[in-house]
Amino acid sequence: MSMVVPRGFRLAGVSCGIKQEASREDLTLIVSDAPGVAVGVYTQNAVYAAPVAIDRQRTPSSRIRAVVANSGNANACTGERGMRDALQMAAWAAAGCQAEPEQALVMSTGIIGQFLPMERIERGIRTAFGRLGNDSEAFLAAARGILTTDKGPKTDTRTLALNGQPVHLAGMAKGAGMIGPRMATMLAVVLTDAPLTENDAQTVLVEAVESSFHCISVDGHTSTNDTVLLWASGAAGGPPLSGPELAAFQDALTEQCIALARQIPDDGEGASHRITIDIHGARSRADAQRVARAVADSPLVKTAIAGGDPNWGRIVSAVGYSGAEFEPDALGLRLNGVCLYAAGEPADFDAAAVSRSLRENRETHLQIELAAGDVPLRFWTSDLTVAYVRFNSEYHT
């Protein structure tokens, strides 16, 4: 896979012994040649990990030189020692590129409630500095270094012309379980060589996340470590983007975040279906989110789809308890293009054919018509299988 690394960045992914599988990368290091603009969006869980606390304090910033991340250990619910360890990780990364400690950000993901093996991490950071590169191999190694239960790296790159110059965006993400909106057990980093101000970078990231990482769910469980970073080196040159160029960058960033976000439920632990939920006719975006989350997080809806059962009653009842404002007598539902429920009444349909479409296709599409307004929303989730239960019952032990 060919990945274009934005100018001004070098990356590495190494194995330092945090994960049980010694051959798997579990530490990622990204450095910039010069201070860059970095902004973030973080978990809304009241219980959050030490790295989240540090990065919230340090972003937005126009001085970031390094991001260091580990997988296999979340450094969450680890008290004062966890905070000291996260600060030390960032300090080691900063020292490696002759920067001040506050010029580095840190991320962790993995098992909650365990202390980091700091000697291994220190060795891993030293090793990573010796392997930094700006090619596809380096990018993919870094993308693998943030994975936990993922089947493989989740990446996306794209290029657009702005102010007469090519501008690159390269994103990586992780996440397969403990995924619920606002946000989930996921990490994501988007690198770009576009010139951005702190305020504009924060604005475009928030907007992109709202349509992407805030619109996914696997199990509705909001985690402690969720972080999405946008880091701009400005190496493309020229003044900070504004006007139509900034709008074009916003579109590209949103598309990239959606591309990354969709890969997460598609890789949901034990998932056999990726489910796209389209909400039409909501009174507000908040109502559309309420309906989408209620349907996406319903174990009954998820298991019905896993079993190939077009049980529309489970979907309709989830819409009803979502808390959204709508007229029940106008509610409509389509599954894989087939009308199951219209104007508040069951529709005639071939249940066997719909069941077959579920069993024979990984992609499942739900279209819910609320007829309460004109606000649409697209949301992604996955089904719930015996494999998910088995995996998560054995995950820690």
Which of the residues are catalytic?
185
The sheet carrying 274-282 orders its strands as 345-346, 338-342, 332-335, 363-369, 274-282, 375-382
Amino acid at position 78, single letter: T
Instruction: List C-alpha distances in Å: 93 to 4, 73, 166, 309.
Output: 24, 18, 29, 51
Dist. CA 337–CA 128, nearest whole Å: 49
Dist. CA 250–CA 233, nearest whole Å: 16
